[in-house]
Amino acid sequence: MTITTTPSSCSINRRVEWVDTDAGGHQHNSVLLRWAESCEAELFRGLGLPEYFPRAPRVQQSVNFTARLWFGQRVTTTVTLEKIGRTSMAFRFDAYGHEFEGREGSPAAHGTFVTVYIAPGQDQAGPWPQHFLDRLTPDTK
């Protein structure tokens, strides 16, 4: 596994493992979200913000599947912070399946998710702490 981070993104290159597949031998739909969460966690660890978890639950997520990924195939998943709001953050993610057993590499999935900040002892979204805002740089490309 290879991990690459910037102030606004994280990419993880890994193989599709047997546990990641369904009865058809290709990726299980849920694995894309798990891989995106792994990138999200590495991004916030790299920024020195491990307290992001468990303070940032998802309030929206969407996945668009464009190609299958097979057991043993290499896949790169990238999560990018796109926007920081007063109480929320919007991310995009992409999964790219590398060339495998004669199949060309291709985008396999893309999607978005939104998290909100829940302060300790609260049950509703509140503003992001300033130290989060000071370390985060959304990708505005």
Q: Under a CB-based contact definition with an 8 Å cutoff, are residues 75 and 107 in contact?
A: no
Q: Is residue 123 part of a domain?
A: yes
- pLDDT confidence tier of residue 1, bands split at 50, 70 and 90: confident
Q: Is residue 140 part of a domain?
A: no
Quick one: three-class SS letters along 30-60? CHHHHHHHHHHHHHHHHCCCCCHHHHCCEEE
Q: Is residue 21 part of a domain?
A: yes
Q: Is residue 108 part of a domain?
A: yes
Residue range(s) defining the domain that contains residue 108: 2-135
Residue pLDDT, tens place only, 58-85: 999 999 999 999 999 999 999 999 999 9
pLDDT average, residue stretch 35-44: 96
Check which CATH number belongs to the domain holding 46 and give it.
3.10.129.10
Query: Which residue reads 């694995």 in tokens?
Result: 31
Q: Is residue 141 part of a domain?
A: no
Q: Which amino acid is at 91?
A: F
Q: What total number of domains does the chain contain?
A: 1
pLDDT average, residue stretch 39-50: 94
Query: Which DSSP helix (H) or strand (E) runs through 133?
Result: helix 130-135
What pLDDT does residue 25 have?
Answer: 87
Q: Is residue 70 part of a domain?
A: yes
Q: Is residue 128 part of a domain?
A: yes
Q: Is residue 43 part of a domain?
A: yes
pLDDT average, residue stretch 27-54: 94
Give the whole-angstrom CA distance, residue 120 versus residue 53. Answer: 11
Query: Which residue reads 């909100």 in tokens?
Result: 116
What pLDDT does residue 62 have?
Answer: 97
Residue pLDDT, tens place only, 87-114: 999 999 999 999 999 999 999 999 999 9
